[in-house]
Amino acid sequence: MSAASTTPSRTRIKICGLTREQDVDAAVDAGADAVGFVMYAHSPRCVSPQRAAELARRLPPFVTPVLLFVNESPERIAQACTQLPHATLQFHGDESPAQCDAATSGGLRPYLRAARIPLQSTEPFDLLKFAAQYPHAQALLLDAHVEGYGGGGKAFDWSRLPPNVNARLVLSGGLTPANVTDGIVQVRPRCKSLAVDVSSGVEVSDGDGTRKGIKDPEKIHRFVAAVRAADKLPA
């Protein structure tokens, strides 16, 4: 028996890497459950805690702001949390369980822990062991392991995930309006509950790729519609 219920549940949606007011509004209008603000200075989508707080003030009740950190100091994490006291934290670097717990008062503040899944099948990754190491995480966010940090807009092979993970998962990495339905169908039966997280897959495209941090409202709406279509499919 899988870890998932036989009745499809509502897949939660996070739109990440927001930098502009109109993109926050588009995510909310489309029905996103959470929006992500990148605190990593080396990311082209990085915003300051003060800017994240300005953008988060546009959020209605029950839409969650998420602050993404990569190997950040406890002091800077605490400073950002002062600006957004009700935010969920996302640790996307090499943070140990002890570091995550210390930054969240032993897990009292909700946090997501990113698991970097290798793109090549020859590189093993023990997701069950990883989940056991982070018992206080609200969910594990599954992203592709590429050079640097972040998924680089690449999707890993979802079929390589264990068939039964006793954890809440957030599927990320290379998701688009075109493939998110298939991702949900493949991963939802393997876990306690599933959410999805998208960034580059809903950004404005030009001849050189996507404009990092600049979202396309039409793509956001198509992404959300594809997730809702997946929710109507039988488990």
pLDDT given for residue 2 in this prediction: 47
pLDDT 10s digit of each residue in the chain, 235 long?
A: 444 445 568 999 999 999 999 999 999 999 999 999 999 999 999 999 999 999 999 999 999 999 999 999 999 999 999 999 999 999 999 999 999 999 998 778 999 999 999 887 777 789 999 999 999 999 999 998 776 676 567 899 999 999 999 999 999 999 999 999 999 999 999 999 999 999 999 999 886 667 888 999 999 999 999 999 999 998 6
Domain segments of the chain as ranges: 12-231
Q: Counting every residue, how long is the chain?
A: 235
Catalytic (active site) residue 16: yes
pLDDT given for residue 5 in this prediction: 47
Q: Which residue, chain included where needed, has tokens 């029950």?
A: 62
Q: How far, in Å, are 64, 75, 88, 194 from residue 175 at the CA level?
A: 20, 33, 21, 14
Q: Vertex 87, ends 84 and 90: CA angle to 5°? A: 120
* Active-site choice (16, 46, 100, 191): 16
pLDDT given for residue 105 in this prediction: 86
Please tell me what DSSP assigns to residue 202.
G
CA atoms within 13 A of residue 176's CA, in its CB half-sphere:
13
Q: Vertex 172, ends 168 and 178: CA angle to 5°? A: 120
pLDDT given for residue 207 in this prediction: 67
- Which amino acid, 222? R
Catalytic (active site) residue 143: yes
CB 99 within 8 A of CB 121: no
Q: How far is CA 139 from the centre of its chain?
A: 10
* Spatial CB neighbours of 3, under 8 Å, sequence gap ≥ 6: 164, 165, 166, 189, 190, 191, 192
pLDDT given for residue 202 in this prediction: 96
* Spatial CB neighbours of 30, under 8 Å, sequence gap ≥ 6: 15, 217, 220, 221, 223, 224
Can you tell me the distance from the alpha carbon of 100 to that of 174, in angstroms, rounded to the nearest whole number? Answer: 25
CB 50 within 8 A of CB 82: no
* Active-site choice (23, 33, 143, 216): 143
CATH fold for the domain made of 12-231 = TIM Barrel (3.20.20)
